[in-house]
A and B are shown apart, each in its own frame.
Chain A
Amino acid sequence: MAAHLKKRVYEEFTKVVQQQHEDLSAKKLRLTKPSKSAALHVDLCKATSPADALQYLLQFARKPVEVESVEGVVRILLEHYYKENDASVRLKIASLLGLLSKTAGFSPDCIMDDAINTLQNEKSHQVLAQLLDTLLVIGTKLPENPSVRIRLVEVACKHLTDSSHGVRNKCLQLIGCLGPVEKGVAKEVESQAAKDVQKIIGDHFNDQDPRVRTAAIKAMLQLHERGLKLQQAIYSQACKLLADDYEQVRSAAVQLIWVLSQLYPESIVPIPSSNEEIRLVDDAFGKICHMVSDGSWVVRVQAAKLLGSMQQVSSHFLEQTLDKKLMSDLRRKRTAHERAKELYSSGEFSSGRKWGDDAPKEEIDTGAVNLIESGACGAFVHGLEDEMYEVRIAAVEALCMLAQSSPSFAEKCLDFLVDMFNDEIEEVRLQSIHTMRKISNNITLREDQLDTVLAVLEDSSRDIREALHELLCCTNVSTKEGIHLALVELLKNLTKYPTDRESIWKCLKFLGSRHPTLVLPLVPELLSTHPFFDTPEPDMDDPAYIAVLVLIFNAAKSCPTMPALFSDHTFRHYAYLRDSLSHLVPPLRLPGRKLVSSPVSPSITPHEDPSQQFLHQSLERVYNLQHLDPQGIQELLEFTIRDLQRLGELQSELAGMADFSATYLQCQLLLIKALQEKLWNVAAPLYLKQNALASAAAKQILEETYKMEFMYSGVESRQVVIIHHMRLQAKALQLIVTARTTRGAEPLFGMCEKFLQEVDSFQRCFISELPHMQGSFVDKLLDLMPRLVTSKPSEVVKILQTTLRQSTFLHLPLPEQLHRATANIIEPTGESDNPLRFTSGLVVALDVDATLEHVQDPQGTVKVQVLYPDGQAQLIHPKPADFRNPGPGRHRLITQVYLSHTAWTEPCQIEVRLLLAYNSNRSKASAKIPKSTWSESLEALPQPENGIEGTIPFSKPVKVYIMPKPARR
């Protein structure tokens, strides 16, 4: 019987498909009704003048053409093409041909011959170019057909001698996109095209038109991208192009040289005007470095960017890029950097007091000084000093990439990066700080460098300061003075910008744990302890004192001798901070005390982690004991939920899993409770109150399921099914409750209908998962589906009720990684007693600063909600630029919220909170609709079925005291 019913189910499914089919055909009917091709034909015949014809064509182009009629339309267009005398109309027809052959699902090989034929007699260069463009489209649509390609390339080669640059341009483009890449094919077909494509393109490197030269280089690059190995012989040609008069040619040539240097890094090329030979990659590197001082900034950006990816270059060349070879009056001079380094190593510090401190030293041999041809010499010095910030950013990025691959270079470029911290454009400063952070494992900061770095801590831009904190987190400092300096500067920063508190503490935490031995000698000074005298106990709430303690405690973690230096109150403060700021203060092994928490030995892998085991065990217990009596289940569920919640609080890495499972069990518990009501059998109207309880439960389950679906990152389809299933059950419950409370069957009809539709869509969406859901609510429901469809609402309700009671509850498998989206509003803090005063009717800007974790696509989903005391709620969409991404899975929202209200008599509190917006069809529906190729056809797409939109609050609300004053008159 069950099998039979299953069959029915599948039958129904096919029926659904048929419906879709009908739908499609209906659509087709509507579109083909006035037979587009015929209409076009009539229109074009009617056209009396070229202008008329052009108008018709333009109108025609606005509407899409369906696949079946493309060929017909093309034939008609071609027919008119031959008849047409006016070049502009022919041009439009040619462009339409291209557009039409792009139509999805249409194979353009049938029109290729015609398109090629049209080329024969064409006189207008513009039309020719357009036709070649069309051929290019056709060629790219037929990637599987080498003979077609070869034929097209042949055609293009024939037109390469055209006198118009446009035509030559298109020919080269076509050869680049379609030219044979594999050698075998070229040999097989003994024809003109078998000639070396590279040779043909290379011949046009010397074309008289710069646009054609550019196109030739681009075509060459295109060939390379398609997998053809370019010949090394091109290198010398490309080098000549670097001196071209036109910037686009030079820019493309730089790219080509870069490609060649990656292909043949180790080949040897001669240096002109000498007998020496060097590696190609070095030569290319020198040439590209040379372009960093080009006249056009576009080329400079291009060159600077490419330098970064030339990692095979020899270190000797690489280091030259940072050396400008200073001189003054023909005498060698040391750079400020070198001087600083020398001063540092000689032990002396600070300078400049002496006039002539930078006096040049040794004489330079005039013959040996190369002023400009020295290739790589000083390229980065120039790039970093460039006028355009685009070039500077590109240079910084390149430095970063090169430094990451070469530690010695990293060491050398440090000075220059540090210099960039003083750039006039904030973006550049930020970029160089980030770069420095990326290479920080390769470097150790000298004291004088650290000094310069720390000077930037006073910057008024928050981004800069935070980036710098991040940088300090992962830098190596060489001396204890360095640590002290860093601490002092950070504390200065703290007093100047108290909002940086968290970030500074975090920074000190890492600074401490990285340099325990350097912190050790500083401890007495930092804690201001004295061997003989007791010193006053510092204020525990002072952020600066906390900062110092964070540094010390983190250092003490790997330095067991340190606690001996602590005074009594330090231990007390430790205990306090360990509790209040547990994320900053590590557990310490203190003398005479037990460790606060048992140490977790690192050898235990996460799978053997006892807490994880506990989680799984408790879940297992619940899932196994499903046949107990309801009372027992309820209690067990309650206990498990409590356990899980507590576990989530204790173990932050398991919080996502624990919360997720707890929520699910909570839903289950609510469902069971609702069904346990003994009153279901009694006539409904008498027990409105109890029904209210049940309906509230249904509502809550619905809410919880949305939370489960959208608030956790890492939810897989297996979980989504279970969540949807739970939602379906909640809906069923709702239906039952409504059926009980409402009189008359009319409203129920609609509801039943809707419910059945939902079951239907559930089945469609999760057909593959159904076999896993034996014995569940939906499984049973689908078995009964044929009966449900035909029966009356009251019967449906009855069936539902019994199924709901009888269904087993599903095991929720947990994914590998599960994180709950959380948000924490840092600012406003909600502690202020001073109301924010503003004139009513005007706006006041409220700064909101929040950290978001595990939110996917925060730009699209995170909203700010403002609740006024009168119950009015305002939803604000922050700008995408307000979100920053400091690390994987973390986001930072720094935005301004504009508040306004009519006048109040008293100051009052408003609530600000963050919401997570969701849309139930966001994930699934969008991918299925094919994009129309016709850019102009923006007909409204059919809205996908009932998408449910809503928001989930996911941060604690913060109260802000405001006071809109009446406007003075």
Chain B
Amino acid sequence: MSYLSFSCLGPGAGQDVGRSCILVSIAGKNVMLDCGMHMGYNDDRRFPDFSYITQNGRLTDFLDCVIISHFHLDHCGALPYFSEMVGYDGPIYMTHPTKAICPILLEDYRKITVDKKGETNFFTSQMIKDCMKKVVAVHLHQTVQVDEELEIKAYYAGHVLGAAMFQIKVGCESVVYTGDYNMTPDRHLGAAWIDKCRPDLLITESTYATTIRDSKRCRERDFLKKVHETVERGGKVLIPVFALGRAQELCILLETFWERMNLKAPIYFSTGLTEKANHYYKLFITWTNQKIRKTFVQRNMFEFKHIKAFDRAFADNPGPMVVFATPGMLHAGQSLQIFRKWAGNEKNMVIMPGYCVQGTVGHKILSGQRKLEMEGRQILEVKMQVEYMSFSAHADAKGIMQLIRQAEPRNVLLVHGEAKKMEFLKQKIEQEFHVNCYMPANGETTTIFTNPSIPVDISLGLLKRETAIGLSPDVKKPKLMHGTLIMKDNSFRLVSPEQALKELGLAEHQLRFTCRVHIQDPRKEHETALRVYNHLKGQVQVLKDYSVQHLPDGSITVESILIQATAHSEDQGTKVLLVSWTYQDEELGSFLTSLLKKGLPQGTS
């Protein structure tokens, strides 16, 4: 019996969307999965409570490693705080693209918090750099040996560039952590994939636990059609996006559409952050989908031909254009500025490609508000068209089930979702796959008992000998074997008894059982022996596979079992049958004894 323990740190990762930070203990190893922050809070609650992990003592001593699944801030935002300010010096694992893009986002986040909002007691640029030095980058499907026992392996997860699922394995126990993943491919990334690794536990996100989504093609077509129509009409299209992730997908979508349809209207992309990120998208071609991977030799899809950098002055240019601007919820910055300029014209259009938090301009216009109050009591009338398109890159309920089917875990644990929705999915999983499913609350620890199989080395000679005895080997059925188990230096070996004796330097002792059976038989000894022999020969059903021999000296052998008949020293009418067998033949020996005890049948001579 061994156990896996699992706990979510603070609000966020458990039955809630927002912040991921999970601690897993597997066979005595402690691994932290993701180190995210909550975007909704501006106080201490934004970072996980690391004091939960260990009350006293350094984190480095307690944790064996930290794994980051992808570069979204709700999965890696607290990393510099954790490693530099709380103090952790152990290894941090992430994929190459994540390692490349993560610091850009962290730096951006730091700038907004410190420079714009003027907060103190926050991590510095230097801390981000120092933190990144502790990062070990891994490749897809590369097995990384953290220490002698703990190994991790990354699988492709879709979602964003460089997102990965991780398999953590100690001995024969394993956990798969999915992070965020996407089971349907999109324009720039492929679908998540995992092999049949049969982990003891699968920790999966469940953002869309109760949703089955429509085919993405309709969404794409709608999006393109709307953009195209507006541009043909001579209108301007504003697409507020966050700098990384969906923005690239939409860019590719529009770029290929422009290429296909031979359109001439300009497409612009704002912010310098994206340029840097696009650079990495170009570099990490192997992480993208089939189409981009196959065609990058002719042309890298991220080298946009139609999409150019945006300048503030362009917003006033006449004629149609498409602009991607940050941030995605229209709450501040460039996207809001452009929105103000264009909102008055009904020819124009704004397309919101994602979810908007309550209170933002984005949310207001999506809920149908047509008159907005801006700062300075200005009233902005929105005449432009407002569209909503969902381009989410999380697996839906079907996708989650599909992943479970692929991996075939023994237990499933749902995180990163709403409790009510998870309840539904949990029930479904238990019903369809007949596996245990858990959904711990924040701060709760779940313990799962596993039934580990223990590998034993067997000597080849013994294996061959044993397989030769029985029928052809069958993996599906357990097989009984005779051998000696040697436990030495943390290893198990199964060897033949002879070899075990030799290794231990012991002489072999033979253990024989002997038993005397008294039979009333007035005849001569050898005649008795002959009767016994005939009797045994007569037992065709039981003894047909054994050789029964009558030796010249009057004794009878059944395989290695010896039977001798002697006259009783006192009573000549009673014959004593001496049955003797080694302990290996215990079964046969006791059978023979009991057979002989029943007496010999009369009339056979």
Q: Could you tell me the distance between the alpha carbons of A386 and B435 in the complex, rounded to whole angstroms?
A: 28
The answer to whether residues A371 and B262 also contact, given A387-B289, A422-B220 and a CB cut-off of 8 A, is no
Interface residues in B355-388 by Cβ distance below 8 A to A read: 366-368, 385-388
Contacts of B90 in A (CB 8 A): none
Contact B290 A371 (CB under 8 A): no
Over the window 291-302 of chain A, the binary record of Cβ atoms lying under 8 Å from chain B Cβ atoms (1 yes, 0 no) is 001010000000
**Majority-rule SS of A interface residues:** loop
Over the window 318-357 of chain A, the binary record of Cβ atoms lying under 8 Å from chain B Cβ atoms (1 yes, 0 no) is 0000001111111001011100000000000000111100
Contact A324 B215 (CB under 8 A): yes
B355 to chain A, nearest CB (A): 12
Q: Which of A366, A389, A460 contacts B259 (CB 8 A)?
A: A460
Total inter-chain residue pairs, C-beta < 8 Å: 123
Contact A385 B215 (CB under 8 A): yes
Interface size of B in residues (CB-CB distance below 8 Å): 58
A535 lies within 8 A of chain B by Cβ:
no
Over the window 175-214 of chain B, the binary record of Cβ atoms lying under 8 Å from chain A Cβ atoms (1 yes, 0 no) is 0000000001101001101111000000000000011111
B421 lies within 8 A of chain A by Cβ:
yes
Contact B290 A329 (CB under 8 A): no
Number of chain A interface residues as a range: 35 or more
Q: Which of B214, B402, B421 contacts A326 (CB 8 A)?
A: B214
B233 to chain A, nearest CB (A): 13
Q: Could you tell me the distance between the alpha carbons of A326 and B214 in the complex, rounded to whole angstroms?
A: 6
Contacts of A387 in B (CB 8 A): 185, 190-191, 289-290
Select from chain B the residue with minimum beta-carbon distance to A381. B215
Contacts of B194 in A (CB 8 A): 295
Contact A330 B424 (CB under 8 A): yes
Contact B261 A366 (CB under 8 A): no
B153 lies within 8 A of chain A by Cβ:
no
Contacts of A369 in B (CB 8 A): 428
Q: Could you tell me the distance between the alpha carbons of A366 and B432 in the complex, rounded to whole angstroms?
A: 13
Interface residues in A350-368 by Cβ distance below 8 A to B read: 352-355, 366
A394 to chain B, nearest CB (A): 14
A419 lies within 8 A of chain B by Cβ:
yes
Contact A424 B256 (CB under 8 A): yes
Q: Which of B262, B366, B472 contacts A460 (CB 8 A)?
A: B262
Contacts of A424 in B (CB 8 A): 187, 256, 291
B434 to chain A, nearest CB (A): 11
B341 lies within 8 A of chain A by Cβ:
no
B225 lies within 8 A of chain A by Cβ:
yes
A717 lies within 8 A of chain B by Cβ:
no
B538 lies within 8 A of chain A by Cβ:
no
Over the window 370-414 of chain B, the binary record of Cβ atoms lying under 8 Å from chain A Cβ atoms (1 yes, 0 no) is 000000000000000111100000000110011001100000000
Select from chain B the residue with minimum beta-carbon distance to A350. B229
Contact B217 A324 (CB under 8 A): no
Contacts of A420 in B (CB 8 A): 217
Q: Which of A295, A335, A353, A384 contacts B195 (CB 8 A)?
A: A295
Contact B475 A208 (CB under 8 A): yes
Contacts of A378 in B (CB 8 A): 398
Contact B261 A458 (CB under 8 A): yes
Contacts of A461 in B (CB 8 A): 260
Q: Could you tell me the distance between the alpha carbons of A424 and B388 in the complex, rounded to whole angstroms?
A: 23
The answer to whether residues A295 and B196 also contact, given A355-B388, A372-B401, A388-B290 and a CB cut-off of 8 A, is yes
A51 lies within 8 A of chain B by Cβ:
no
Contact A355 B386 (CB under 8 A): yes
Q: Which of A161, A330, A458 contacts B262 (CB 8 A)?
A: A458
Q: Could you tell me the distance between the alpha carbons of A289 and B387 in the complex, rounded to whole angstroms?
A: 35
Contacts of A355 in B (CB 8 A): 366-368, 386, 388
Contacts of A460 in B (CB 8 A): 259-262
Contacts of B225 in A (CB 8 A): 452, 455
Contact A336 B290 (CB under 8 A): no
Which of A206, A327, A452 counts the most B-chain CB atoms under 10 A from its CB? Answer: A327
Select from chain B the residue with minimum beta-carbon distance to A459. B260
Contacts of B184 in A (CB 8 A): 385
B257 to chain A, nearest CB (A): 8
Contact A371 B367 (CB under 8 A): no
Q: Could you tell me the distance between the alpha carbons of A422 and B224 in the complex, rounded to whole angstroms?
A: 10
Select from chain B the residue with minimum beta-carbon distance to A161. B472
A246 to chain B, nearest CB (A): 9
Contact A389 B291 (CB under 8 A): yes
Select from chain A the residue with minimum beta-carbon distance to B191. A387
Select from chain B the residue with minimum beta-carbon distance to A203. B472
B133 lies within 8 A of chain A by Cβ:
no
Interface residues in A447-484 by Cβ distance below 8 A to B read: 452, 455, 458-461
Q: Could you tell me the distance between the alpha carbons of A946 and B368 in the complex, rounded to whole angstroms?
A: 85
Select from chain B the residue with minimum beta-carbon distance to A330. B210
Over the window 335-361 of chain B, the binary record of Cβ atoms lying under 8 Å from chain A Cβ atoms (1 yes, 0 no) is 000000000000000000000000000
Contacts of B43 in A (CB 8 A): none
Contacts of B427 in A (CB 8 A): 366
A365 to chain B, nearest CB (A): 11
Q: Which of B213, B221, B473 contacts A208 (CB 8 A)?
A: B473
Contact B215 A384 (CB under 8 A): yes
Contact A327 B406 (CB under 8 A): no
The answer to whether residues A389 and B215 also contact, given A324-B398, A355-B366, A459-B261 and a CB cut-off of 8 A, is no
Contact A372 B402 (CB under 8 A): yes
Contacts of B195 in A (CB 8 A): 295
A-B contacts, 14 listed (Cβ < 8 Å): A161-B472, A295-B194, A327-B397, A328-B210, A355-B366, A369-B428, A371-B428, A388-B290, A416-B215, A419-B221, A424-B187, A455-B228, A458-B262, A459-B261
6 additional A-B residue pairs with CB within 8 Å, beyond A422-B221, A423-B217:
A327-B212, A328-B210, A329-B210, A355-B366, A384-B215, A387-B289
| Chain B residues within CB distance 8 Å of chain A | 184-185, 187, 190-191, 193-196, 210-222, 224-226, 228, 256, 259-262, 289-291, 366-368, 385-388, 397-398, 401-402, 405-406, 421, 424, 427-428, 432, 467, 472-476
| Chain A residues within CB distance 8 Å of chain B | 161, 163, 206, 208, 245, 293, 295, 324-330, 333, 335-337, 352-355, 366, 369-373, 378, 381, 384-389, 416, 419-420, 422-425, 452, 455, 458-461, 496
